[in-house]
Structure 1
């Protein structure tokens, strides 16, 4: 019904293949592109200690055609936040004072007082 109204009443034709939006990249596609970018960086530099603001340029095939396009990947932003190491653990003094402060409240919550 909607298609008929669009075509007959409003005079709107369906979009051609050129006018349709490009399909979105899946997470697998994005990870594959970042992996290839990291491999390229590693081959050139010999390590993967990527500076935080580093942008790597990679050449990719566009839609399986013969033409290729250059893309800039923010490789430094791809690092996991845990790359700097685990967060520092609270001191044992802080832990013991916290436990003693909460001890009375736990017994109240459990109805043990």
Structure 2
């Protein structure tokens, strides 16, 4: 069983190349690459958790939200950066994603 220490999301992988992670044991299978849809789902989950606790999405830029996974591990999500970047790139978001964040009271 892994320890419950926070871990950052894996960096995006290039197609055809395995993901490498620092501290990986020799011969250990590399972790699966994270897709954009997976990253969106994790960030949205963190936003929902923050909204439920704080009542809004006024997230400080440096805020890191900790999500506890079903297996007991903790994932750190840079929620402040996600919200700030999403606001700046709002014109590029598809309608479904805008609605998901709008339901949480996202200020555009």
What TM-score do you get using the length of structure 1 for normalisation? Answer: 0.49
More helix by share: 1
Instruction: Give the Å deviation of 1:79.
Output: 2.2
Matches within 5 A, 1:20-31: 20-31=29-40
Tell me, which stretches of 5 or more residues in structure 2 are unaligned? 1-26, 89-108
Counterpart among 76, 83, 88 of residue 80 in structure 2: 76
Structure with bigger RCO (C-alpha 8 Å, 6+ apart): 2
Q: What is the distance in 2 between the residues matched to 1:36 and 1:77? A: 15
* SS class of match (2:69): strand
Name the CA shift for 1:81/1:74 in 2 (closer, same or farther; >3 Å). closer
Size of the aligned set, in residue pairs, is 62
Could you list the runs of 4 or more consecutive aligned residues of structure 1 that deviate by over 2 angstroms after TM superposition?
Answer: 79-84
Larger radius of gyration: 1
1:47 match? 56
Q: What is the distance in 2 between the residues matched to 1:35 and 1:47? A: 13
Q: What is the distance in 2 between the residues matched to 1:82 and 1:73? A: 14
Tell me, which stretches of 5 or more residues in structure 1 are unaligned? 1-17, 62-66, 85-113
Q: What is the alpha-carbon root mean square deviation over aligned residues? A: 2.0
What TM-score do you get using the length of structure 2 for normalisation? Answer: 0.51
Counterpart among 38, 42, 46 of residue 47 in structure 2: 38
Q: What is the distance in 1 between the residues matched to 2:41 and 2:87? A: 20
Equivalent pair of 2:68/2:74 in contact (CA under 8 Å) = yes
Instruction: Give the Å deviation of 1:22.
Output: 1.2
* SS class of match (1:37): helix
